[in-house]
Amino acid sequence: MLLTDFGRAVLMALIPIASWVHMPVIPVVVFVAIMSGALAVFFGAAYTGMIPRIVAPEQLGRANGYFEAIESAAYALGPSLAGILTSKIGPSNTIGLDALSFVFSALSIMRNANLQKFEKNNLSM
């Protein structure tokens, strides 16, 4: 999951960089769309498989519900937020913010992994 998030952050950052250095952006967008789509498949498979590993079995239904609610909210609100940001700061800068969101996601996953290691070490003592 970390590799896919960091990979998508790098890929998304290519679009604003291409725009800032006045490169043709469309070929970059096509490349980024193909590669980030492939990484999204791996991320989706990993995160759905991760839920049962971090949640107690009796909480699995609730956890899946939360994940689905968050994903649905992102699909509902994301395009509107992207449209507002695009009109205010431009499309390249908006995609740059998207790249930062993948960095934030990866850092959150790293924090969660560190917390799990900490809890596992404390429980084994």
124 compared with 57, residue with greater pLDDT: 57
Residue type, 123: L
In this prediction, residue 74 carries a pLDDT of 92
Write down the H helix ranges in 1-125: 2-20, 25-54, 60-89, 91-123
* pLDDT beyond 90 at 120: no
In this prediction, residue 54 carries a pLDDT of 80
Mean pLDDT value of segment 100-110: 92
In this prediction, residue 32 carries a pLDDT of 97
Closest CA to 19 of 11, 28, 10, 9: 28
Tell me the pLDDT tens digit for each residue of 56-103: 889 989 998 998 999 999 999 999 999 999 999 999 999 999 999 999
Q: Judge contact between 12 and 105, C-beta under 8 A.
A: no
Range of the domain at 99: 2-123
* pLDDT beyond 90 at 5: yes
Split into its structural domains, the chain has a count of 1
* pLDDT beyond 60 at 125: no
